[in-house]
Structures are given as C-alpha cells and as structure tokens.
Structure 1
Amino acid sequence: APPAVQAALLRLVLERRIGALRLPPGVRIVAAANPRSSAADGWELSPPLANRFVHLQWTHDQDVVVRGLGGTWPRAALPSLDPGGLDGAVRYARRAVCEFLTARPGLVHRLPSGETRRGGAWPSPRSWEMTLCLIAFATAAGSSREVLSLLVRGTVGDGPGLELMASLDRMDLPDPETLLADPAGAVLPERGDLRQAVLDGVVAAVRKRPEKSRWDSAWALLARAMETGAPDVVVVPATTLATLRQQDWDIPASIERLAGAMSLSRRADRAADRAAARLAGTARTSG
C-alpha cells in the first residue's frame, strides 16, 4: 500500500472506524505482506501504521508443507482462556511491563533509525499497552514461553522483547531471604542461568546484611545447589561468599562439599588459559 493509502488505514486499524461506521466487535484486523525486497512495487510500512500491529514472521516448515501438499494440512487449535485466572494474569502483566519500563525508561518510546526497522515492531506507549494485553491473555491461556516470546518480540521488537522476557524469568525467582531462612527446603530453578541468578541474589543479600547465621545458610544453599545441579554454577557465588567471612566466623562443614568442585573448576580454567596461550603462540609463529 502506498503512503496515501497507509495514512487512510490508521484510524481503521486503531479505532476500528471508517468514517461514521464502527466495525462490529467480532471483526479481527489482520494484514499480510511480502518483504519490500520481494514485493511487486512494494513499500515499507509507515512507522505509525507499523506500530499498530503485532509483527509475526512467517516461516515455512518443510514437514507441514509436504504433508499439506499430500492432502493433510494441520488444523490449528485455538487457545482457551481460564476466566478465573484472567484477573491475576492482568495483574501479573501490569507488574511485568511497569517494573521493566521503570528499570529501562529509555525503551518507553524508541523509534528505530532505519526505514526498514521503522516498518516493523518497535517500542512505544501504544505497543507496550498491546504487549501488556498479550502477556495477560497468553498467561491466562497457559501459552508456552516460545509463543509468548514471539508475541512480545512481534510487538516491541527483538531487543526490547528479549529483555522483557528475561525480566519475566527473574520475576518468578524465589526471594533470597526465603531461601536463607530454610536452605534445606529450598527449591531452585532447573535452568542454569536462572539458578545462577538466584545464587548471586543470595550472596548479595548476605553482603547487604552480613551475619554469621546468614553466611552459614548461604553455604548450605550453595552445597544444595551443587548436589542438585551443575557444580560449575556455584563457583562464582562461592568465591564471592568466601570473601565476606569475618575473622571470628568458623568455617562451616558445608564448605568441604564445595571444595572439590571449586578446585576442579579452577584447574579447568587454568588448562583453558594454557591452551589459549599455546594457540596464540602458534598463530604468532605462523604469522
């Protein structure tokens, strides 16, 4: 659509009005387009029009295409919302978006510099409101993280969208104070990056209020983390926690369970450094 037609679409897409006519509630507005590079006499979407859509990139799945050409196209299953969980999902979405934009105020409105990127998803108050609605409905529908990621990135762009998804992950992390109060009963995330973030948060909490009992609890928690997951995740927080020890604090027995993993990690790091040095020396010799 040329710019003049795109301008005429703005009120239709956002306000659902054509002159004095208001579209019925059951009408859904969907647009499809080839990239400008592969479109006949194509135009980029204008930034105001692009900011009114959720942009989903279409990819061809080879198995689906082959089965479809053979006569069996898949039937899409529409998600169903849990009405009882919608209020909680809305509160969760509001908290997620508001906390994120409080921490990243520069992303409230950021118009991309390039024409092509302006014709896609980018962050603005309008698209953040759309994002909030999508998070709420996807949460109430029990959608997968992959689906939610596609929706969020399709609304505010890849960079801000991925940052928000990481922020959502951190929202679900357990409170460090709760973990310190009961390290034996602690439930830690399975994903390594989230587990690392939890342990770093525990060490930060001890640094903020250093007490012998809290220091001991943190060591017990690190030992539990090593027993229930990858040992390398505990190396950095354990090294930091060790620097917080005061002279009159006895060393807890749980440290002995961590000593082997930390020693192995250090040996691996030294071996990697030696290998990198040998490769650098070989490169200089070849040069």
Structure 2
Amino acid sequence: MKIALLRNLYISLLIVILAACRSEIMNPDELVVAPESKKGGGSEIVTLNADAFIRRAFIKKKASAGYRMTASVSNSEPDTVHIIDVKIKASKGAPSPTIKKFTLYWEKSEPKAEVSSFSSDELDFVEDAVGKTYEVSYTMLNAQGKKIGKVKKKNITVEPPEANLPVLESIRITNSSGKQWICEIVISDPSNIIDNAEVEFLDEYSGPAPNPTIVSLSFAGEINLGQELYTGILSFEGDPTKTNYPLLVSGNAKDIKIFTIETSSTPAYSDL
C-alpha cells in the first residue's frame, strides 16, 4: 500500500517537473531570434516579440530643392528593419506629391539607443507644401522583403528648411580721411536674416578710449552673393593704431540678436 502511494507521488512529481521544463523551453520571450510567420492578406507578415515601431517621422523642405523624409525606427533588434516602403496622400487643400509611393533606405543607427534612421530625397510636390498635412503609410520590411508588423499610419505636417544662420566673415576699423574712423564688418547672410549690426568695445584694452563704446552699424550694400557689408562711424581719444581692441559683435534682426561673437581688431590708416 505504501509502495503504491509513493510510486503515485513520484509519478505526479515527475509530471510537474517535465511540464515546467517544457513551459520554460517554449517561453515566447526566448524566441525573438526565430520569429513566427503568419499568412494574412496574401502577404507574409513577420511577428516579433518586440515589434518595431516608428518613433518619429518628418518631412522637411530642403534649402536647395525638393523635400526630405526621415523616419526613426525603434526595435530591440537594430538590424531587423531593412527598408521602409511609403505611401503618401494629400489632405484637403494640400498640393499633390509628384510621387505617391517611394522607399526610405537605411541612413544610420544608434546601437545604444536601439534606433535606426531611414530617409529619402525623392519626394517633391507640385507647389510649396510647407505647413500642409499629409497622411503617410509606412510598411517596414526585413532583408528578405517580408513585412514586419502592421502598416503604420501618421499625419505629418511639412516643415520649412533650416535657415542658414548668418556668420561674421571679417571686421576692420580704418581711417582714410585723417578725421573719421569707420568700422566695417562683413556678414555672410544667405537667408537674408540680418538687417543691422552692433559693435561693443570691451574694457580689456590699454590704448585710447573709443567714443562711443557701442557703435550701431547700418547696411551699406552687398559685396558678394550672400555677403553683406555693415558700417558705422566712431572716434578715439588719441591714436588707436597700436592698440588691439577686444570687441563684441552682434548681428540683429530688428531688435533681436541673431548672433553674438567676441573678436578683436586693430585700427589702421588706409589710403582706400
């Protein structure tokens, strides 16, 4: 009687252990590297334990011509997504795209963040599309051309191009008449943002004091394509030609400072 009871208990315990081992082996979390394939809608879809998803997508007008679309994809396996097929549809009142289907190709990956970027420069519109909204459908594909997850849809508003910010090219303080000193600066401003400039003399100098210490400069013309000249008149309490003056130069759009840079200049007499 006791022997039969112990045998039954042993068999029950063995069944429990085998069931636990089978459950551990079949844990779907351990099968990400061998995804299940399902048939649906006539095309094969790869289902991942951690499904890839579009983290961010945007369409930006390029400064030259055309538009650039970029999508950032998050996934536990950075190499899972190979390309992204895109379909784009205009909302009411938005200009039509010149193409309605195109592909985003891999651009770069950030392994630590498990993010990959995909982009395309194929997109264009029949008219300026900045500020207009489009419905975009994304189909992510692996290297074998099989769909990953479901089609993702997003409404995207087209962004303007990034402005080419102005840059200070040069500065000089000259005197050609023997009386007036003129401050001249050249600013590279291809986006035509700047409309006035300002020069401030800092205190760290050991020569004649400038008067005034802050000089407003006005637009004096374009010297090259995208390069603008700004000038202003100033004076010194003595001969400044042997002094290097530390300066703070700012380019402004009305009352807003677009850039400020610290530099220096040594005044010089000029025959020009």
TM normalised by structure 1 equals 0.23
* Structure with greater proportional strand content: 2
CA radius of gyration, larger in:
2
